[in-house]
């Protein structure tokens, strides 16, 4: 069970895709510029996984403010997984991690196997976004403690305020946004001697890809955007609506499944009853940490449960457990729900820079959150918890402002594949449709019953391989994706029906 929880947690929080590309036709690559970035052998490691990925790593110094090249400088961590020498193509894959706040070099080992085929012909380039990983990481350890999953809102806000005050002494937090990182990426591209790149982004990484394509259109050969977050979408602004939609879809699938409907006739009622009970009286649970086995106590209140349900909605493997977990909690044992949420929350905190997340979202998203709608919020399990929490945090965390025109739609003629999960709780298919309006050479694909991050689902790796190999959408056969189906529901905590 612990291993299952581990896999589900990793799947739920890594809001990224995975690519498996077929081998390209052998052809001599066109001339490519020489690298000006010194690289040395290194090993890439995920915070929790035992696997290591050999690469070549280096650092590139860039101005903290690209418009003030003589000012303070920061170092970017860069990793390159070199393609095989024979038939090596000149246009690499730049993998853009999500969050905002994830470091590409730390996340990559969890998905490295998915890049095996594309890596035979194309370099894989990983750049930790400024403020994350090895790129001038913005770090306040208290914000990333394991207890974060059940920390009170006021305690969280005090930590956010103290963190902002600490970091502002040695970093210009106005210079840690998406435009800044896009300019970093192009500096890395130039230093490595590449003329064009293929951008593969997941979740927030899709925004980075679009921002880069707008600023440097001639440098992009193809884009693959999984869990599309166009510039028109304020990240976090529609979580309450979109999370409720995803939960309602899951409940509907349970009702349509005879076995699930018999075992769990009212998952929505189970969640509502659990929230109502915890609003009146939070519970302190004694359980064993699902990752270390050490005993610990967790305070479970309504706000914590709301966050856990949202977090578990990111992956279909976790969604398949939700009816059973909610029914068990309503019957009086919320321990399994808390344990799984604790595991997932620990992975989130270990792989993300919370200060960088605040620096980006407070400048680029929170000011554009839609106004509160109390009538609508009463019908949503999240209420207005996410929007309220971000607004409160941004009042205490120093940040800049998005540049003029930042939120304008990105128009690009780059061939683009847009991938969505039907039941994605944060970037549902409607946002891919918004992006597609200004991407005339794009195709939107929606995977039935899937959630957030779908590049490795079913035959999607084969579809991606053919797309990047051809560099165009004409003739791309995606019919095999119809075979991708939702995960079967667990009928108890032992597993689904055989």
CATH of the domain at 421: 3.40.50.1820
pLDDT at 349: 67
Q: Among 179-183, 259-263, 369-373, which stretch is predicted with the lowest mean pLDDT?
A: 369-373
Query: Based on the structure, what is the number of domains in the chain?
Result: 1
pLDDT at 187: 97
Q: Which helix (H) or strand (E) holds 273?
A: helix 267-280
Task: Work out the pLDDT band at 27, boundaries 50, 70, 90.
Answer: very low
Q: What's the token pair of residue 158?
A: 């005090």
Whose tokens are 């000006």? That residue is 36
pLDDT at 344: 67
pLDDT at 36: 86
| Residue-wise pLDDT tens digits, 410-459 | 999 999 999 999 999 999 999 999 999 999 999 999 999 999 989 888 88
| Residue-wise pLDDT tens digits, 151-196 | 667 888 899 999 999 999 999 999 999 999 999 999 999 999 999 9
Supply the mean pLDDT for the chain.
Answer: 87
Q: Kindly report the CA angle at 142 between 139 and 145, in degrees rounded to 5?
A: 105
- Rounded to whole angstroms, the Cα distance separating 290 from 149 reads 13
pLDDT at 17: 33
pLDDT at 348: 65
Q: Which residue has the higher pLDDT, 11 or 181?
A: 181
pLDDT higher than 50, residue 48: yes
Task: Work out the pLDDT band at 294, boundaries 50, 70, 90.
Answer: confident
pLDDT at 346: 65
Q: Among 39-43, 85-89, 289-293, 397-401, which stretch is predicted with the lowest mean pLDDT?
A: 289-293
Q: What's the token pair of residue 259?
A: 């076995």
Distances (CA, A) of 228 to 16, 234, 313, 361, 420: 11, 12, 17, 16, 7
pLDDT at 142: 64
pLDDT at 290: 65
Q: Kindly report the CA angle at 287 between 262 and 331, in degrees rounded to 5?
A: 25
- Rounded to whole angstroms, the Cα distance separating 434 from 231 reads 10
Closest CA to 233 of 477, 6, 435: 435
Strands (E), 46-120: 52-63, 73-81, 93-96
Q: Which residue has the higher pLDDT, 8 or 468?
A: 468
Closest CA to 270 of 339, 331, 191: 331
Q: What's the token pair of residue 352?
A: 């993300």
pLDDT at 18: 31
Q: Rank 21-35, 48-62, 111-125, 253-267 by mean pLDDT and report only the highest.
A: 253-267
Closest CA to 355 of 99, 106, 68: 99
Predicted TM-score (pTM) of the model is: 0.89
* Domain range enclosing 154: 1-498
Q: Which residues contact 424 (CB under 8 A, 6 or more apart)?
A: 227, 242, 246, 450, 451, 452
pLDDT at 112: 81
Whose tokens are 């597609």? That residue is 436
Q: Among 127-141, 214-228, 277-291, which stretch is predicted with the lowest mean pLDDT?
A: 277-291
């Amino acid at each position: 069970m612990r291993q299952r929880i581990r896999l589900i947690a990793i799947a739920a929080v890594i809001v990224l895709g995975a690519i498996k590309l077929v081998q390209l036709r052998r052809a001599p690559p066109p001339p490519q510029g020489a690298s000006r970035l010194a690289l040395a052998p290194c090993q890439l490691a995920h915070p929790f996984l035992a696997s290591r990925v050999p690469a070549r790593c280096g650092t590139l110094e860039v101005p903290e403010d690209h418009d003030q090249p003589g000012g303070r400088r920061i170092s970017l961590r860069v990793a390159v997984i070199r393609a095989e020498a024979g038939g090596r193509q000149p246009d690499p894959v730049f993998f853009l991690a999500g969050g905002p706040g994830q470091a590409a070099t730390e996340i990559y080992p969890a998905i490295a196997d998915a890049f095996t085929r594309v890596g035979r012909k194309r370099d894989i380039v990983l750049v930790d976004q400024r403020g994350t990983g090895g790129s001038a990481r913005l770090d306040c350890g208290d914000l990333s403690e394991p207890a974060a999953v059940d920390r009170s809102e006021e305690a969280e806000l005090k930590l956010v305020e103290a963190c902002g005050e600490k970091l502002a002494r040695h970093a210009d937090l106005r210079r840690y946004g998406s435009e800044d990182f896009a300019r970093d990426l192009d500096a890395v591209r130039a230093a490595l001697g590449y003329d064009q790149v293929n951008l593969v982004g997941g979740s927030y990484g899709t925004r980075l890809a679009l921002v880069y394509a707008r600023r440097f259109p001639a440098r992009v050969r193809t884009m693959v955007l999984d869990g599309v977050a166009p510039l028109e979408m304020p990240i976090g602004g529609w979580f309450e609506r979109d999370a409720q939609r995803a939960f309602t879809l899951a409940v509907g699938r349970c009702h349509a499944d005879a076995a699930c409907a018999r075992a769990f006739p009212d998952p929505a009622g189970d969640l509502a009853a659990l929230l109502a009970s915890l609003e009146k009286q939070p519970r302190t649970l004694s359980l064993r940490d699902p990752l270390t086995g050490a005993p610990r106590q967790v305070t479970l209140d309504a706000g914590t449960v709301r966050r856990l349900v949202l977090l578990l909605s990111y992956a279909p493997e976790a969604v398949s457990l939700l009816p059973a977990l909610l029914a068990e909690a309503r019957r009086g044992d919320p321990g399994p729900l808390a344990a799984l949420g604790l595991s997932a929350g620990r992975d989130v905190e270990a792989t993300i820079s919370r200060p960088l997340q605040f620096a980006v979202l407070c400048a680029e998203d929170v000011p554009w959150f839609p106004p509160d709608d109390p009538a609508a919020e009463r019908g949503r399990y999240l209420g207005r918890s996410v929007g309220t929490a971000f607004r409160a945090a941004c009042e205490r965390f120093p940040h800049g402002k998005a540049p003029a025109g930042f939120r304008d739609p990105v128009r690009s003629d780059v061939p683009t594949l847009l991938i969505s999960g039907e039941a994605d709780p944060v970037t549902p298919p409607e946002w891919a449709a918004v992006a597609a309006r200004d991407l005339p050479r794009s195709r939107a694909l929606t995977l039935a019953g899937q959630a957030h991050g779908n590049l490795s689902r079913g035959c999607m790796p084969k579809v991606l391989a053919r797309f990047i190999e051809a560099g165009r959408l004409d003739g791309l056969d995606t019919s095999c994706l119809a075979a991708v189906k939702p995960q079967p529901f667990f009928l108890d905590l032992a597993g689904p029906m055989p």
